[in-house]
Structure 1
Amino acid sequence: MSALWTSGEVQAALSAASITAPFEATGVTFDSRAVGKGDLFFALSGETTDGHGFVTDALSRGAAAAVVSRDVEGARGTLVRVPDTMKALVELGRAGRRRSVARIASVTGSVGKTSTKDALRAMLSAEAPTSASVASYNNHVGVPISLVRLPRDARYGVFEIGMNHPGEIEPLARQVEAHVGIVTNVGPVHIGHMGSEEAVADEKGCLFAGMAKDAVAVLNRDSRHYERLAGKAREFGVSRIVGFGRSEAAEARLVSCNLQDSGSDVAALIHGRRIEYRLGAAGEHWVLNSIGALAVVEALGADVVKAAAILAEVKASPGRGARRLLKFGGGTIELLDESYNANPVSVRAMLAVLARTEPQSGGRRVLALGDMRELGEGADDYHAGLADAVAASGAAQVFLCGPHMQALWQRLAPAQRGVHRPDSTALAGDVAAALKAGDVVAVKGSLGSKMKIVVDAIVAASGGEAGR
């Protein structure tokens, strides 16, 4: 395996660094639990832990070197001493971006960032070597580590950028220097910190800061914030703007789609060219984001037809809509796992998918929801406002947890009410005990609501995976 970074390249990027011995690193990490042989380990200081406490272990496990800002007692191996390890990570990320010849895409949005990033990675990888952010590495640590990991031979790079407070996106966007940026949508997400949807839109629009020459902005043409976002893009010097969605004015336009519980058949016009494809993930939100992703592929100069064919293989990931068929009570149940995160937009999208998912004979639709976090003073109203979508989903029984879900509980029809509990730990057993063969159960909530506990309880109560 060729070196991702040599000590000489690290020295050139980090002029203030003092390196104790030459090295070649084949990977980079800040997580001591994930250190592999040949990795460059960054000892970052966080709110609760200090990476310097894991340097000795990282080196003993084969790390090529460790980036530190102070002496580490007992460390046996190569050290890269810098004044500040976080700043060093950012600087090395900038160096990784400068040396790269890849065409770069950046992705943000209130909903669908990670799914769109993953779809882009799949499509572009079919054409040429592609690097993309792993998991949800979209913050002040995740973005620079993703840039540092950008292989020198990559031809495409896809970087997710997130936020939950004002002022977070622009510095990350300036590190990425994308050729194409997409904002999937804007909704009342993190509104407790941001104050308004307009403020969220303005922050998302900072994705276009520091973009490369002749950059392209890809925006949701159906969004009421489209013009606001287009204005932000122009403020940052981006002149080519591509809209996607159902709107007749969209350059990447949905013509038709046949929505099914196992995916969708889609027809779209991408700059006037009709493309028909199968999408392996269910839901209209997936359809619209796939069209936005195809607009990004076109703007990057990749083969759109070849990319669209790959979308049949794209599936929702665990916690983000993955579907599991489980043995249960002499038959099976279907589990829709959306436990990773939730906001008013994504919950409605999930409920629409649940409505189109037919239970087996004798089965029901069952719903388990945890609180949506960071919605500010209007949190109870946002939760209560889901009542119409819950009713339309056809859920026969609804199980809720968290203080804000009490507001939705009060709006449910009495026949729909399962139980309301203070947290997911208290709720998990109730949901698992209520299920019977033939049911479809959907689970969703903000990460802080820990709805994976409910998913795990359902899986534990089952007889394991069933073949489809």
Structure 2
Amino acid sequence: MNMTLADIERCLGNMAEEGHQDIRVASVKTDSRTVEAGDLFVCIAGENYDGHEFAPQAARSGAAAIVASRMLDDVDAPVIMVRDSLGALGRLAACWRDMCGAKLVAVTGTAGKTTVKEMLYAVVSRKFETAKNYRNFNNQIGLPMSMLKAAAKQEVWIMELGISRKGDMEELAPVASPDLAVITNVGPGHLEGLGNEAGVAQAKTALLRYLRPNGRAVVCADYPLLWDAAREIVDAPIGFSTNANSDTSYVASFLGGSDTENWGRFRLKTPEGDGELTAPFCGEHYAENLACVAAAAHQLGLSRDDVIKGVRDMAVDGQRFCCKVGGGVTVIDDTYNANPLSMARSIRTATTMADEAPLVLVLGDMRELGAEATRRHEELGTLVAEAAPAAVFYKGDHLADVARTCGGAVIPLTTPDEFLRAWRETGIDRGVVLVKGSRSLKMEEYANALCRELNAGAPGGNK
């Protein structure tokens, strides 16, 4: 960011003070411990802290000014008063985007949105200076802070928007005000805050109400609730699909593994052509991501070849279906998060990869499902039964719900060391191990422990 203090004051609805047009603000901070000379400190009141209490510390560190929603004492820096400091952070990000003239792509969905964002960045950055938010910094603080970190020279900003309760999108979408809105899918995620799948569809598609004039929407056509909700808002959403019989212009399908370990073979159809490609990821869920990225990239002026080259060169996230091989065992670290949609996809893909070899599932609770939590974990147990794994390990409050329907023994997970002792007792020396659960359960600790045990690492190099 590169704004004057006068720019910031006017953006936030205040009169610019004399001389403030000569004060440059290069960075915005919400953590007083990171404030450096010339930064703008925004006081955010959270559940566990209130930034207003740390305003004096920010001023002593050289803050150029402080944005606050209540009166401050003993602060030796200009104070910009606002009604809502969190909302002011969003308005500031929107102002910076308008000053830069960047084209913004907003990505949301129940599953795959971070992967789509990363894939799209890999494609778009081949042709344009491109910004993105880091990992899943996608909430009411993460989104505006990501936008404020973008540089004026970056022509395209690809920003992920994450919601968990009703009203979240109405707070995020005006900040993004996208030129291109991308909705990957909808499913039973964050039901505690969004109610049911219809509620999820309504909440996600609220993004489309904030499209800029002549803005476009890319939406998966495979989810009737999502597609119908989108069409109530925009006349002609651009559809993508994994259904080979779909009449959409962008279709991808997973064809199985390739000769390069842990790479997948895909078929991709766009208006420019239809054919096979290989990429450094595997599974049917990646086909949906690929179709989505092809549709979005085309709206930004990129070709099918640009998409193929971009995704082939991208680095796979270490906690998103990242395959590490040790001896005859492939450990799939998919511990970034979990909901019923992503859990089902990962288990089915792991089952396919295992083929006739043993499959081991190391799973954890799917959080934030509200009143549907028991039913959704019983459905997970049924899915586990269909996969017929050689062993099942489980961590979380819903172990009994999964065990009730999975048709076999479920080994409770305690510490990583206890897990390794139980793993050794299985005697399994080949096959596939999937590790997945909600982020708060820290399932990566079990994946990392097993990888150390097996001396497993990600295959080197891209094809």
Give secondary structure in 2 for the equivalent of 1:159.
strand
| Structure 1 residue 370 corresponds to structure 2 residue 370 | no
What is the Cα deviation at residue 225 of structure 1?
2.0
Number of the residue aligned with 2:238: 241
Tell me if structure 2 keeps the 8 A contact 1:264–1:287.
no
Cα 1:37–1:288 shift into 2, 3 Å: farther
Alpha-carbon distance between aligned partners in 2 of 1:128 and 1:466, rounded to the nearest angstrom: 30
What is the Cα deviation at residue 92 of structure 1?
0.6
| Structure 1 residue 343 corresponds to structure 2 residue 315 | no
Alpha-carbon distance between aligned partners in 1 of 2:415 and 2:281, rounded to the nearest angstrom: 28
What is the Cα deviation at residue 460 of structure 1?
6.1
Give secondary structure in 1 for the equivalent of 2:266.
strand
Give secondary structure in 2 for the equivalent of 1:385.
helix
| Structure 1 residue 14 corresponds to structure 2 residue 12 | yes
Shifted more, 56-65 versus 333-342: the winner is: 56-65
Number of the residue aligned with 2:120: 120
| Structure 1 residue 411 corresponds to structure 2 residue 402 | no
Number of the residue aligned with 1:429: 417
Identity %: 26
Shifted more, 172-181 versus 31-40: the winner is: 31-40
What is the Cα deviation at residue 185 of structure 1?
0.8
Alpha-carbon distance between aligned partners in 2 of 1:450 and 1:140, rounded to the nearest angstrom: 24
Alpha-carbon distance between aligned partners in 1 of 2:35 and 2:386, rounded to the nearest angstrom: 48
1:157-206 deviation line (CA, Å, top 9, x unaligned): 11111211122213321221212111111111122332221111111111
What is the Cα deviation at residue 346 of structure 1?
0.6
Number of the residue aligned with 1:149: 149
Alpha-carbon distance between aligned partners in 2 of 1:197 and 1:288, rounded to the nearest angstrom: 19
The code of the aligned residue for 2:437 comes to G
Tell me if structure 1 keeps the 8 A contact 2:42–2:85.
yes
Residue 442 (structure 2) aligned to one of 443, 446, 450: 450
Alpha-carbon distance between aligned partners in 2 of 1:322 and 1:259, rounded to the nearest angstrom: 14
| Structure 1 residue 399 corresponds to structure 2 residue 393 | yes
Tell me if structure 2 keeps the 8 A contact 1:18–1:81.
no
Alpha-carbon distance between aligned partners in 2 of 1:4 and 1:217, rounded to the nearest angstrom: 30
Q: Counterparts in 2 of 1:25-424, with a 5 A limit? A: 25-32=25-32, 35=35, 39-55=39-55, 58=58, 65-69=65-69, 78-83=77-82, 84-234=84-234, 239-246=236-243, 247-254=245-252, 257-259=255-257, 262-271=262-271, 273-274=273-274, 276-325=276-325, 331=327, 333-358=329-354, 364-414=358-408, 417-421=409-413
Alpha-carbon distance between aligned partners in 2 of 1:262 and 1:335, rounded to the nearest angstrom: 11
Cα 1:307–1:430 shift into 2, 3 Å: same
Give secondary structure in 2 for the equivalent of 1:374.
coil
Shifted more, 214-223 versus 445-454: the winner is: 445-454
Tell me if structure 2 keeps the 8 A contact 1:101–1:154.
no
Give secondary structure in 2 for the equivalent of 1:411.
helix
Alpha-carbon distance between aligned partners in 2 of 1:45 and 1:389, rounded to the nearest angstrom: 42
Cα 1:196–1:7 shift into 2, 3 Å: same
Give secondary structure in 1 for the equivalent of 2:406.
coil
Alpha-carbon distance between aligned partners in 2 of 1:172 and 1:186, rounded to the nearest angstrom: 18
Alpha-carbon distance between aligned partners in 2 of 1:201 and 1:125, rounded to the nearest angstrom: 30
Tell me if structure 1 keeps the 8 A contact 2:255–2:266.
yes
Shifted more, 273-282 versus 187-196: the winner is: 273-282
What is the Cα deviation at residue 323 of structure 1?
2.7
The code of the aligned residue for 2:138 comes to N
Alpha-carbon distance between aligned partners in 2 of 1:465 and 1:245, rounded to the nearest angstrom: 31
Tell me if structure 2 keeps the 8 A contact 1:105–1:157.
yes
What is the Cα deviation at residue 290 of structure 1?
1.4
Give secondary structure in 2 for the equivalent of 1:369.
strand
Tell me if structure 2 keeps the 8 A contact 1:324–1:334.
yes
The code of the aligned residue for 1:445 comes to G
1:375-426 deviation line (CA, Å, top 9, x unaligned): 2323222112123432444531111122223111122343xx35125xxxx2
1:270-310 deviation line (CA, Å, top 9, x unaligned): 13533643321221101211111110111122344223211
Cα 1:98–1:343 shift into 2, 3 Å: same
1:230-285 deviation line (CA, Å, top 9, x unaligned): 32332xxx544333332421111126633456132222221353364332122110
Give secondary structure in 2 for the equivalent of 1:379.
helix
Alpha-carbon distance between aligned partners in 2 of 1:36 and 1:245, rounded to the nearest angstrom: 49
Shifted more, 403-412 versus 283-292: the winner is: 403-412
Question: Across the two proteins, how many residue pairs are aligned to each other?
Answer: 450
Alpha-carbon distance between aligned partners in 2 of 1:446 and 1:255, rounded to the nearest angstrom: 27
Tell me if structure 1 keeps the 8 A contact 2:393–2:411.
yes
Tell me if structure 1 keeps the 8 A contact 2:65–2:80.
no
Tell me if structure 1 keeps the 8 A contact 2:364–2:443.
yes
TM-score (norm 2): 0.86
1:36-67 deviation line (CA, Å, top 9, x unaligned): 67643322111111223444555666765543
Cα 1:284–1:464 shift into 2, 3 Å: closer
Give secondary structure in 1 for the equivalent of 2:210.
coil
Tell me if structure 2 keeps the 8 A contact 1:201–1:228.
no
Cα 1:13–1:464 shift into 2, 3 Å: same
Give secondary structure in 2 for the equivalent of 1:287.
helix
Cα 1:283–1:17 shift into 2, 3 Å: farther
| Runs of 5+ unmatched residues, structure 1 | none
The code of the aligned residue for 2:395 comes to C
Cα 1:195–1:72 shift into 2, 3 Å: closer
Alpha-carbon distance between aligned partners in 2 of 1:275 and 1:58, rounded to the nearest angstrom: 56
